[in-house]
Structure 1
Amino acid sequence: MNALRIITLLLLSVPALAQMQPFSLQEVKLTGGPFKNAQDVDLKYILALNPDKLLAPYLIDAGLPLKAPRYGNWESSGLDGHIGGHYLSALAMMYASTGNAELKKRLDYMVDQLARCQAKNGNGYVGGIPQGKVFWDRIHKGDIDGSSFGLNNTWVPLYNIHKLFAGLRDAYDYAGNKQAKQVLVGLGDWFVELIKPLSDEQIQQVLRTEHGGINETFADLYILTKDKKYLETAQRISHWAILNPLIDKQDKLTGLHANTQIPKVIGFEKIATLTGKTDWSEAAQYFWQNVSQTRSVAFGGNSVREHFNPTTDFSQVIQSNQGPETCNSFNMLRLSKALFLDKNDVSYLDFYERSLYNHILSSQHPEKGGFVYFTPIRPNHYRVYSQPETSMWCCVGSGLENHTKYGELIYSHSDNDLFVNLFIPSTVNWTAKQMKLTQRTEFPYQNESELVVEIAKPQAFSVQIRYPKWAENFDVLVNGKAQSVTGKPASYVAIHRTWKRGDKITVRFKTSTQLEYLPDGSNWAAFVNGPIVLAAKTSTEDIAGLFADDSRMGHETKGKLYPITNAYALVGDPATYLSGLKPVDKLRFSLDSLTLQPFYEVHDARYQMYFQTFSKAAFNEQKARLKQQEAEAVALDANTVDKVNCGEQQPEVDHDYKGEKSDSGYDDEQFWRRTRSFITYQLQNKNRTGKYIDVRALDTIKPDQVRFLINDQPAEILSTDEKRLRLKADGNEVITLKIVAQDGKNSPRFNQIRLITQ
């Protein structure tokens, strides 16, 4: 690989700022509706968390006394400190959005405590990573053994510390905390020195492990300080293995851990705006187009079991209880925002709006609070919500942030024009123009919005209102007088005049319900009205674990999978699929015994979002075939006590993977892991009902070439069948399976390990 192709340390001329500019969160206030409710609910969750508990991992690493014990769950099992970084961002953005004084007090306190830790460490470092000083010293010396989520058997340490980088940046950017900038610069200088001895190849080896958007935060450090070393570092820690194919417009994403890639691309785009690297920006656009148009489901989310599925086959997404991950959409919105502001292209807003209403808004319980990790599209399944004292998942961290910044793109501006991008009840204060715009709307329940101008003195400029792609018509009135609309869908309608106090703009449009099929061309479709995805509550039975406990896998549903063949299907001619839908109330529709409503309203229940479509002739044949497949899958699931999908990031983390000289991959649409030394997994044998361990590989398993140990004792092999092998479980509640390669040769590519009852 040609490193010179990627890294150019001489800075190119910085292009002029994009015409489109965001308003600050302080300038935009929500005034009502579901987004304001979500903001208020998130505020309660933020205040329910204890800053001293979140700071504990940092104090432990710095050798300072604790004021409270650290949280459990992911915060005490290897990802210690990651929520603390997210919490800084959430405090800063929620303070900017609301002005709540308690948020600022907590933010200032946390930054001050982090500064104490940094001073105690004495070298600019501050972090909560377990045994952090030992870990980083090994990296500094070039001792690197990395995989997709483990670096020297440490759980995503760069991803972890990136959250602190981003939190400190946000504390300064959104809340004006100058001490945060000082800590951030010190941490950045420490990192620059840390990687200075490493070759480009060694850095790329480190970057094989999930590292968040750490390249973006170094670009931000350059923006804050104008010190070129940070921008040079940002380019140096950009991942070639992802960037190069994107530059060449090659889709190499299938099988990759989805949320690992999206933050990297946000970094590519930011670096491009600072260096003039148009190929990096085009790479980001290509990635966005690929993910948003060919890898995303109707509500905007993507991935199955956290990985990108083949664009030609969404069957696993339909079948899995681990559907799109909320963190993915959190980052896709950040990428969409960056590209919109850079390119002034309204199409980025169409995807942003779809994801905002249907994934982000739906990912928080609207009354009790709590954030969703996986949103399955499997018919008749459900979601799990976090709780403040029990749940410390990645999607809790991004969830804390998601509902603090709804005001970020409702409006934007150029030097002279005001742009109305989203129909959300709110106000915007355009300080430079000494004017305020108030938007009153009940959208999406009413297809109208009213904009009222308050201005110190008459001024001439344009108010540009987004004409959404989904709007079937678009009428604009100023002070009750109809205006000529020359725009078209997915553009802006410009209203230029000399505005005076009290001027009123009324916008009206029509929407209709359409069927939107999965991108793979299969017969699964969702009902979408305008930008709003509709779904039906189907049952409140067997929703075990609805509000998560503190178990390692509390973010996953515990209730059984209902057969897909029992789900409601649309049968007939394609022209009739929509005819069964009958309006009941605002965004309520009956479909036989089902009631469809906005998905973001569906909570505390199993639901159906996607529906199979059949001709009458195909329905019975297809149903019989699927029924047999489903029966086999459901029976296997009922017989399974625990399982590990080898090579998949979260299942391996959940099962305490450890290993040496091991690598993983994705071949023939299956994940795998192999080793030249050893790998271990920890299986949970609930109620000691598991009797056997089935090991499956993509290659022939030869017992004389690989050894199996259960709880450090040689395992009894009960049967072998080329690529499958059965071991006798030992009856303990926790079973550690160790696989040891013989003679330093590669083991088979192990695909799945399953603890079963019979």
Structure 2
Amino acid sequence: MLAGPAAALTTIATSPPDRVRRVAAVPMRHVRLKPSPFADAFAANQRYLLSLDPERLLHNFYLSAGLPAPKPVYEGWEAQGIAGHSLGHWLSACALVVANIGNTDIASRLDHALAEMARIQTAHGDGYLGGTTVERDGKQVDGKIVFEEVRRGDIRTQGFDLNGGWVPLYTWHKVHAGLLDAHALAANPRALPIAIGLAGYLAGVLEPLSDAQMQQVLRAEHGGLNDSYAETHALTGNPRWLRMAEKIRHKAVLDPLTAQVDRLEGLHANTQIPKLIGLARLHELTGNPNHATAARFFHDRVTHHHSYVIGGNSEREHFGAPDKLAKRVTEATCEACNSYNMLKLTRHLYSWEPNARWFDYYERVQLNHILAHQRPDTGQFVYFMPLSAGARRSYSTAEESFWCCVGSGMESHAKHADSIYWHDIGAGAAHTLYVNLYVPSTLDWTDRKLALDLDTQMPMEGAATLTIRRAPRVEQAIALRLPGWAQEPTIALNDRTITPTIRDGYAIVSRIWKPGDRLRVTMPMALRTEALPDDPSMVAFMQGPLVLAADLGPASQPFDGLGPALVAEGAVTGALRTATGAHRFTARSALGEPLEFKPFFAQYDRRTAVYLPTFTPSDWASAKDGYLRAQAERQSLARRTVDVAYLGEMQPERDHGFTATRSETVQLNGRSARKLRGGETLTLTLARRPGPAMLQVVYWGQDIDKRFDISIDGTPLATETRPGPRKPGFVAVDYPLRSAGEQGKAQATISFTGKQGDIDIYEVRMLTVSAGATSPPPVA
């Protein structure tokens, strides 16, 4: 996307919001989806929303207020300290559905939830409304204690916690945002008073803090709190909320972005994106150009330097070095929450600058990531979208998961109608309707006396037809997005090819429209490749807007083969042959196996390969032996791996019962780690199998002359001194373990105790030891 010009950090502008936003989405109440994959996803999502019981989502909220909980808590994350984040997303998703189609059943569920939330808030008496918990002295207690400690200036965080509570401010933001959506989208009168009470309680906690104390609080993940306070100001006009929105500025992240410096490497990706959404909203409310500069620069860096072919970003939830993706194509790429938030940010930026290229990105993500991450039959969701060869998607369950990506998934699939059509706003605005997404739908825009049908087989066919059903008797422009992937698109009016005005990526046709007029855009879809920026030989295939992937078999079967490679003389696309069916191709791998390429998003129950290494015939002749050896080593490591924990990353640590006497999360060398200092102890639990085993620990090769002890189940395993010499990159060190059969345990508790010097520990892996197995090579 287009980055904005640099702005002095001290510059403050006062342009009103209607000078910032030039276009807005047509309200969803005027839009209906026609049969399509988007409509299927929307329908499945409605079923899932109705299956959830708001009283179960409110379980901890009742207990926090001293009220009896009428229903049991859900399992998964909802049974943990983060409880409540799902409720916030559920409120927003329900509000989106009500705003779109007015589903009365969902509206009734939403109203009941809000009535109960009002009752709970009244019981507290101070505006507090929360369901988070925190462990104290081995017991789970009400998370309100964390907020009251912060009020007193007692602030402790290691990045994903606040005073030991699992991201309570992140959860608070979800509930606040859900209430605002229930007010603004579903027009429920109960919502805004609850949101104002919520905003007042937290403001009372944060307002007295010094800037240094506030920055310490903001080291903990806090979602889009700045956005929620900015929006509360927009709805109420109360300047207190605007001051709070500006106070919630995480300077360590936002100041470099404002100065247009990319320091994203090693940062937890989804922690950052909502901060920029908040800055975008603040720009709309204040006109401060610095907020816009940061938001535009961040979007440009993420989309052009940190993203994969499907438009998603991050690997194991973290940004790596810009343009360094080749070694980060794994089973844990592209967290769904990141794409959900990047699309929200894209909508803001587009509203300031209605250029079609913003929606080229939006369309890529919506088709190739968002549609892929929800099963259209069950409505369940995927956390990571794995891009490595042979990977499969792992879906949530209806009542046992409640990951962050389940919550954002509820919203993502409630809003397929919210960005199809846009229009000019502001005094003297032209009467232009922008068609940005080719999603089968109807528009019945009573305010403009305009009604039309949008018929298309997109994304399977590159053409769409608008048919006017009703139109005002004034001249009106229709702007059709000409996708960047379309080769020589054409426009026809009433079956006659015309030459429209082309501006900012749109074909614009202006006239007094009559019922029955047809406007058709034809968008040829060519086969092409996109290479990884740091390895041009690793390519993904696209046709039109769709990412293609090699089908490597059913997800229910293990993948034991080698990841496929292609050999081609000349253009790599020449290795693919057209097959029967839309967007289907066949090829022969470098080793002769038949391959079939199909749209990635729809391979819900298949193992796939998105990026494939490619060779010329001469290159393959010299590289074949090394390629086979490297693939075999990766296979061996995968087969031998019983369990693995990535330190410094929130969910892997929680999954493995990580504890520490005191430890700092660090992001160095493109990965997260835990810093172990002298006198400190880190402990985690890994699964293991009976028989001989190997503990493998990953360190940075430059970290030498350290001393620390490693023990297993309380028994000393090794005293590591990290002797020299220094080595480039990461190194993996193996420590043999005793037989699990002798110990009689299926799990092992691993402890690291620092003795001398600081050491960063990146990864701890439990391996089996097979006959003839050799240690894997150093981790790249």
Q: Which of 395, 405, 416 is the equivalent residue of 1:406?
A: 416
Residue 502 (structure 1) aligned with residue 503 (structure 2):
no
Distance 2:414 2:85 in 1: 18
Alignment of 1:175-190 (within 5 A): 175-190=186-201
Give the 3 Å change call, closer, same or farther, for CA 104–679 of structure 1 in structure 2: farther
Q: CA deviation at 1:525?
A: 1.0
Q: CA deviation at 1:171?
A: 0.8
| Residue of structure 2 in register with 1:552 after alignment | none
| Residue of structure 1 in register with 2:157 after alignment | 146
| Residue of structure 2 in register with 1:437 after alignment | 452
Distance 2:706 2:266 in 1: 27
Q: Which of 576, 590, 602 is the equivalent residue of 2:586?
A: 590
Alignment of 1:518-597 (within 5 A): 518-540=532-554, 542-543=556-557, 562=560, 566-575=562-571, 577-578=573-574, 580-592=576-588, 593-597=594-598
Structure 1: state its 5+ residue gaps: 544-558
| Residue of structure 2 in register with 1:548 after alignment | none
Q: Confirm or deny: 8 A CA contact 1:312 1:521 kept in the other structure.
A: no
Which has the larger displacement, 156-165 or 715-724? 715-724
Distance 1:657 1:183 in 2: 36
Which has the larger displacement, 129-138 or 635-644? 635-644
Give the 3 Å change call, closer, same or farther, for CA 683–446 of structure 1 in structure 2: same
Q: Which of 93, 98, 107 is the equivalent residue of 2:96?
A: 93
Q: CA deviation at 1:478?
A: 2.2
Deviation digits for residues 9-28 of structure 1 (CA, Å, limit 9, x no counterpart): x9945343422111122121
Alignment of 1:307-322 (within 5 A): 307-318=318-329, 320-322=330-332
Q: CA deviation at 1:516?
A: 1.2
Which has the larger displacement, 81-90 or 519-528? 519-528
Residue 324 (structure 1) aligned with residue 327 (structure 2):
no
Distance 2:692 2:196 in 1: 52
Give the structure-1-normalised TM-score. Answer: 0.91
Deviation digits for residues 434-478 of structure 1 (CA, Å, limit 9, x no counterpart): 221211111222322111222265222111111111111222222
Which has the larger displacement, 432-441 or 404-413? 432-441
Distance 1:285 1:45 in 2: 35
Deviation digits for residues 483-540 of structure 1 (CA, Å, limit 9, x no counterpart): 223427x611111111222222222231211111123243111111111111232111
| Residue of structure 2 in register with 1:68 after alignment | 71
- Give SS of 2:128's match: coil
Q: CA deviation at 1:691?
A: 4.6
Distance 1:308 1:696 in 2: 19
Q: CA deviation at 1:293?
A: 1.2
- Give SS of 1:516's match: strand
Deviation digits for residues 403-439 of structure 1 (CA, Å, limit 9, x no counterpart): 1101111100114111111111101222221221211
Distance 1:217 1:37 in 2: 31
Distance 2:462 2:332 in 1: 34
Q: Which of 211, 233, 241 is the equivalent residue of 1:230?
A: 241
- Give SS of 2:116's match: helix
- Give SS of 1:53's match: helix
Distance 1:633 1:585 in 2: 34
Deviation digits for residues 141-176 of structure 1 (CA, Å, limit 9, x no counterpart): 121221221222221111111111111111111101
Give the 3 Å change call, closer, same or farther, for CA 681–517 of structure 1 in structure 2: same
Distance 1:243 1:596 in 2: 41
| Residue of structure 2 in register with 1:629 after alignment | 630
Distance 1:670 1:477 in 2: 52
Give the 3 Å change call, closer, same or farther, for CA 657–143 of structure 1 in structure 2: farther
| Residue of structure 2 in register with 1:355 after alignment | 365
| Residue of structure 2 in register with 1:682 after alignment | 684
- Give SS of 2:316's match: coil
Residue 467 (structure 1) aligned with residue 482 (structure 2):
yes
Give the 3 Å change call, closer, same or farther, for CA 605–138 of structure 1 in structure 2: same
Residue 514 (structure 1) aligned with residue 528 (structure 2):
yes
Number of aligned residue pairs: 728
Which has the larger displacement, 419-428 or 748-757? 748-757
Deviation digits for residues 546-565 of structure 1 (CA, Å, limit 9, x no counterpart): xxxxxxxxxxxxx56x56xx
Q: CA deviation at 1:380?
A: 1.8
Q: CA deviation at 1:292?
A: 0.7
Q: Which of 735, 738, 745 is the equivalent residue of 1:732?
A: 745
Give the 3 Å change call, closer, same or farther, for CA 242–619 of structure 1 in structure 2: same
Which has the larger displacement, 718-727 or 208-217? 718-727
Distance 2:216 2:720 in 1: 39
Please give the root-mean-square deviation of Cα atoms over the aligned residues, in Å: 2.4
Distance 2:455 2:555 in 1: 39
Residue 380 (structure 1) aligned with residue 380 (structure 2):
no
| Residue of structure 2 in register with 1:550 after alignment | none
Give the 3 Å change call, closer, same or farther, for CA 621–61 of structure 1 in structure 2: farther
Distance 1:731 1:207 in 2: 44
Give the 3 Å change call, closer, same or farther, for CA 426–278 of structure 1 in structure 2: same
- Give SS of 2:622's match: helix
Letter in 2 for 1:483: I
Q: Confirm or deny: 8 A CA contact 2:462 2:544 kept in the other structure.
A: no
Give the 3 Å change call, closer, same or farther, for CA 439–678 of structure 1 in structure 2: same
Q: CA deviation at 1:690?
A: 7.3
- Give SS of 2:763's match: strand
Q: CA deviation at 1:710?
A: 4.9
Q: CA deviation at 1:117?
A: 1.4
Distance 1:178 1:675 in 2: 52
Give the 3 Å change call, closer, same or farther, for CA 221–6 of structure 1 in structure 2: farther
- Give SS of 2:129's match: coil
| Residue of structure 1 in register with 2:219 after alignment | 208
Q: Percent identity?
A: 34
- Give SS of 2:341's match: helix
Give the 3 Å change call, closer, same or farther, for CA 666–690 of structure 1 in structure 2: farther
Q: CA deviation at 1:204?
A: 1.0
Q: Confirm or deny: 8 A CA contact 1:51 1:106 kept in the other structure.
A: yes
Q: CA deviation at 1:693?
A: 3.9
Residue 27 (structure 1) aligned with residue 30 (structure 2):
yes
Q: Confirm or deny: 8 A CA contact 1:323 1:374 kept in the other structure.
A: yes
Distance 2:664 2:301 in 1: 27
Q: CA deviation at 1:708?
A: 5.0
Letter in 2 for 1:27: H
Letter in 2 for 1:97: N
Residue 371 (structure 1) aligned with residue 367 (structure 2):
no
Q: Confirm or deny: 8 A CA contact 1:685 1:732 kept in the other structure.
A: no
Give the 3 Å change call, closer, same or farther, for CA 191–616 of structure 1 in structure 2: same
Q: Confirm or deny: 8 A CA contact 1:91 1:107 kept in the other structure.
A: yes
Residue 396 (structure 1) aligned with residue 406 (structure 2):
yes
Structure 2: state its 5+ residue gaps: 1-7, 134-141, 589-593, 724-730, 770-780
| Residue of structure 2 in register with 1:36 after alignment | 39
| Residue of structure 2 in register with 1:614 after alignment | 615
Distance 1:671 1:338 in 2: 31
Q: CA deviation at 1:652?
A: 1.8
Q: CA deviation at 1:702?
A: 4.8
Deviation digits for residues 323-370 of structure 1 (CA, Å, limit 9, x no counterpart): 111111111111111110122222111100110111001111122331
Distance 1:262 1:578 in 2: 39
Q: Confirm or deny: 8 A CA contact 1:459 1:500 kept in the other structure.
A: no
Runs of 4+ displaced beyond 6 Å: 5-8
- Give SS of 2:190's match: helix
Letter in 1 for 2:439: I
| Residue of structure 1 in register with 2:602 after alignment | 601
Give the structure-2-normalised TM-score. Answer: 0.88
| Residue of structure 2 in register with 1:121 after alignment | 124
Alignment of 1:701-740 (within 5 A): 702-703=706-707, 706=708, 710=712, 713=714, 715-717=716-718, 722=723, 724=733, 726=735, 731-740=744-753
Give the 3 Å change call, closer, same or farther, for CA 45–686 of structure 1 in structure 2: farther
Distance 1:615 1:442 in 2: 37
Q: CA deviation at 1:42?
A: 1.3
Q: Which of 419, 433, 443 is the equivalent residue of 1:418?
A: 433
Q: Confirm or deny: 8 A CA contact 1:207 1:237 kept in the other structure.
A: yes
Distance 2:361 2:711 in 1: 49
- Give SS of 2:601's match: helix
